[in-house]
Amino acid sequence: MPQARELFDTLTAKSGLSSEVLANAVDTLQECEEVVGACSMVMLGEQYAVQMAPAISRDLDCADVVGVTRRLLTRGSGPDNSLISAQFEACLLACERSYEMCSKHAAEHAHCRMCSDATRRCADMCRQILGALRA
């Protein structure tokens, strides 16, 4: 986190969010992207992959949306927050959809438990960022 915070301290185009909030968001997004991507890969390799296709699809969508959100946030798009707000809305939806599927399997599969935890944390962070951007 110190490097991300330092990076955000140097950006001239400010979003209205503190460097600490931005750095924490990047860390949460990165963790979520990694965990969700790993969960989908584990499911693909299992004998029940066909039955898990909806969860795999949602995880892959989530990983892609979360990754784009992290990259947009890191880029520092400036004082017009309309694009980043829309992206955080999409990220929130993707995390909620992934959480919905993986939380159903969390008791049987550690990767789904980890995925549902990461997507819940990421969705919570998205709600906080959106609230701050709208304030």
Contact present, 26 and 4 (Cβ < 8 Å): yes
Which ranges constitute the DSSP H helices of 16-109? 19-44, 53-75, 82-105
What share of the chain in percent tops pLDDT 70? 87
Half-sphere exposure of 33 (CA within 13 A, CB side): 15
- What number of helices (H) and strands (E) belong to the chain? 5, 0
Is it the case that residue 114 has pLDDT exceeding 60? yes
Look up the pTM and report it.
Answer: 0.88
Tell me: the pLDDT tens digits for 59-92?
Answer: 999 999 999 999 998 887 667 789 999 999 999 9
Contact present, 20 and 129 (Cβ < 8 Å): no
* Residue 61, pLDDT score: 98
Please tell me the distance from the alpha carbon of residue 74 to that of residue 13, in angstroms, as a whole number.
11
Torsion sign over Cα 32, 111, 121, 92: positive
4-8, 79-83, 85-89, 104-108: the lowest-pLDDT one: 4-8
Is it the case that residue 134 has pLDDT exceeding 90? no
Q: How confident is the model at residue 115 (pLDDT cuts 50, 70, 90)?
A: very high
- Total residue count of the chain as it appears in this document: 135
* Residue 6, pLDDT score: 59
* Residue 7, pLDDT score: 58
Helix (H, G, I), strand (E, B) or coil at 50: coil
Is it the case that residue 12 has pLDDT exceeding 50? no
Please tell me the distance from the alpha carbon of residue 66 to that of residue 94, in angstroms, as a whole number.
8
